[in-house]
Every structure is written in structure tokens, then in C-alpha cells.
Amino acid sequence: MNEAQPMKRPLTEGQKRLLHRMPELKDSVFPHVYDTLPADNYINPERFRLEKEAVFHSEPVVAAPSALLETPKSYAKVDIAGVPVLLTRTADGQCRAFVNACTHRGTKLCTKDDAVNGVRISCPYHAWTFALDGRLIGVPRQEIFPGLEKDRLGLKELQCFEGGGIIWVGLSYDNDIDFGSVKGELSEDLAALGLGDMIVYKKATFDVKANWKLLMDSMLDSYHVTRLHKDSVGKFFVDNENVIDRIGPHIRNASARGNFEKSRVTDDFEEVRRIMVFSYTPFPNGILVVSPDFVSFGVVRPVASDHTFVDYYMLANKGEPSTEKMEDKLRRSFELMELTFGQEDYWAAEQCDAGLRSGALDKIHLGGMEIQITMYQDEIDRRVKDYVSKS
């Protein structure tokens, strides 16, 4: 790729407010907060069923970064909370979402783990063929289906919104999903980070034997970073006061790196990402952490109360890796992130899950460096209670 200079990316007003609230490292004040959560929230299968209905089938969910479908005429699959999803990018660049099931016999159309380039999708079972806009365009031996009307057998479409570099999907095709919370300020923030202009450098999928919320908690907890990750990324961080606010149900966070000085603060993202970390929790299942040279983007995909998949995408600016040095840096960074998430964060989540399922604890305990967990879990709990009250 050609050598590329980082483009200027002005921060949004919300990001500026967060950044200018950050104290010098020496002035950090850790919140004195003590809270608890029921252990049952993580291990009860009925609770998991309610979360699927009240959250994943009632709210917009994160499906993938826009960069997964980098070019028009491409498609990819992702299974989320029991729904097989097919994402497509049509020739005009529009992103669409469908149930990844052939309307003939229900076979999954796309079975590949990586995005595929192509203008049509053919079922691997009987070769029924669909366009990227969901239309059924080919049926082998159509004469054996007397009266078959192809225009009535297109793919089942799901509601979809693409903004700020994220593809959001509504998993319920029977209910109208309100995408209002993912438009506006959140999309503007993510666009300011350049998310929509990035490419997928590499992707990994982790198979984790733990409740999905334990994986979300691991990204909301600054308490563990210099401890669990002491032999990996912990050396790049210091305990400090996080500055946190909300964008609707989503959490926006800023924390200082060890080289942070308020005198170095500017309103340009490419400058400040070298001295601090922006991280976001796009509700309900997204994880986004900004590093100096890449963005870590995670999609948490629940399977059962004790089983979760996580897609990890390392996103890099277009035009990178532009040099052999940058290629080597990104390669080593990806290896480090695979270690950090797979062998540390998700290992810890599995240990927590096993401990909670022993029945020895009726609650978990949270301190002042874990307040984002309470913020996040309150959003889940509110939706579950509303759902139950309306049922």
C-alpha cells in the first residue's frame, strides 16, 4: 500500500468534554463505591432466555464493523443469540441484513467464516440462488415446482442500520426495532474515530465457555488491567481515574495512558489517541477500545447461559500497513491482543463462570474501579424487568 499520512480527525463535542475533564495522573481520584449483583443473573438459564427476548430480540444489536464488508458486492454471516444473520453489501454500497436461511428448506446459505465477494449467493444444498438484495433469482429444475412464485420466496429481511462504522441489526422480524439510540451522537462519535474508514487487518473468533455478560464485564472493569494483564498489555497502562458518561444506553469512557499530560491535549483524535484511551460499550454486545495504531472491535454473541462466541476485529486506518515497519507492528499487536483476550480476559471469564455455578456465592462484589459494570448491568436489568411486566 502507499505511504499515508494520518488525516486530521476533529473530536466531537461530547468527546472533547470527556477529554477535558480528565485529571492529571497525580490528581486521579478513585470512586469510593461498593455495589453487589446477584450471582443468579449470570447462571440462571431462565434469566438468559429473558435477556435474549428483552434485549437481543428487542433492541438493535451489533453485528459487525462496516469494514467487514469493505466493498460493494460482498456478503458475510454472523450468528447472534440464536438467529443466523446474513449481511450483504449491494452494488450501490447499501448494507442489508437477512435471515441466513434458504427459503427452500432452511439451509444456511453462507457457511464461510470470512466475508465473500460475489453478486449472488447459491444454497449449497439444492443451488437455489439469491441476489444480494434478497430476491430469489434461480431455481434449478423449476418445472418440478408447479406454481412456484419466485417473487414470493425472497430471503426473510431483518431491519438494519449502518452508522459510524458499525452494522446494527434487529433480530426480530416480527417486531419493529427502534434504532434511535444508535443514530445521532453515537454514530457521530464513532465516525470521529475514523471507524467507518478503517479496514479489517485481521479477525479472530473466540469460543468461550462462560456467560456472555462476564465477557462484557471484562471490558468494563479497569480494576483488572494492571493485574490480570501484568505480563501482556498491563505494562502500557496505569491505575487512573476513568472519565465516564453515557450516550443513551451506551457507555463512553476516557482513560489516561502513562504518558498523559493535560498540556498535550488537543481536539484532534489522531494526536490524543497516543496519550489516552477512548473506549465504548455499544449496547448491548459491542466492545470498542482505541489504541495508538489500531482499534480493537469486539462483537459478543451469546449461545447459551454458559456459552458465548466473541468476534475480535483489529481495525487499521486505510493505507496501513503502509510500510514494513507498520506491518510488523500490527502483526505483533494482533498476536498480543489474541493473548490478552483469549488467554487472559476470556480465560478469567471462564473461571468466574465455573466459580459462580458452584453455588458458593449468592452475589458478586464491585468496587469503585468497576462502576461501569453496574451501569451496564442496570441497563440489562431494566429491560428484563420491563419485558416481564409486559408479558
Which residues neighbour 311 within 8 Å (Cβ) at sequence distance 6 or greater? 64, 78, 203, 204, 205, 298, 299, 301
More confident residue, 262 or 66: 66
Is residue 37 within 8 A of residue 363, CB to CB? The reply is yes
Hey, CA dihedral for 220, 224, 230, 235, is it positive or negative? positive
Which pLDDT band, with edges at 50, 70 and 90, does 5 fall under?
low
Q: Tens digit of pLDDT for each residue in 9-67? A: 899 999 999 998 988 888 888 888 899 999 999 999 999 999 999 999 999 999 999 99
What is the domain class of 61-177 according to CATH? mainly beta
Cβ neighbour number for residue 69 with a 10 Å cutoff: 25
Percentage above 70 pLDDT, the chain = 97
More confident residue, 98 or 219: 98
Edge-to-edge, what's the strand order for the sheet holding 136-138?
120-122, 129-131, 136-138
Q: Mean pLDDT across the chain, nearest whole number?
A: 93
Task: Give the model's pLDDT for residue 1.
Answer: 38
Hey, CA dihedral for 39, 48, 64, 207, is it positive or negative? positive
Which pLDDT band, with edges at 50, 70 and 90, does 3 fall under?
very low
Q: Tens digit of pLDDT for each residue in 146-156? A: 999 999 999 99
pLDDT value at 321 more than 80: no
Cβ neighbour number for residue 79 with a 10 Å cutoff: 13
What is the domain class of 13-58+197-390 according to CATH? alpha beta
Residues of CATH 3.90.380.10 domain(s) within the chain? 13-58+197-390
Q: Is 26 helix (H, G, I), strand (E, B) or coil?
A: helix
Q: What are phi and psi of 251, to 5 degrees?
A: -110, 130
Quote the cell numbers at residue 279. 473506549
Q: Tens digit of pLDDT for each residue in 373-386? A: 999 999 999 999 99
Which pLDDT band, with edges at 50, 70 and 90, does 320 fall under?
low
Task: Give the model's pLDDT for residue 235.
Answer: 75
One-character DSSP codes across 152-204: G----EEEEEEETTEEEEE--SSS----GGGSTHHHHHHHHTTGGGEEEEEEE
Task: Give the model's pLDDT for residue 153.
Answer: 98
Is residue 151 within 8 A of residue 135, CB to CB? The reply is yes
Q: Tens digit of pLDDT for each residue in 124-135? A: 999 999 999 999
Give the whole-angstrom CA distance, residue 147 versus residue 113.
Answer: 36
Task: Give the model's pLDDT for residue 6.
Answer: 55
Task: Give the model's pLDDT for residue 2.
Answer: 42
Residues of CATH 2.102.10.10 domain(s) within the chain? 61-177
Percentage above 90 pLDDT, the chain = 79
Specify which residues 120 forms β-bridges with: 131
Is residue 127 within 8 A of residue 137, CB to CB? The reply is no
Which pLDDT band, with edges at 50, 70 and 90, does 7 fall under?
low
* Overall average pLDDT of the 266-280 stretch: 92
Task: Give the model's pLDDT for residue 391.
Answer: 83
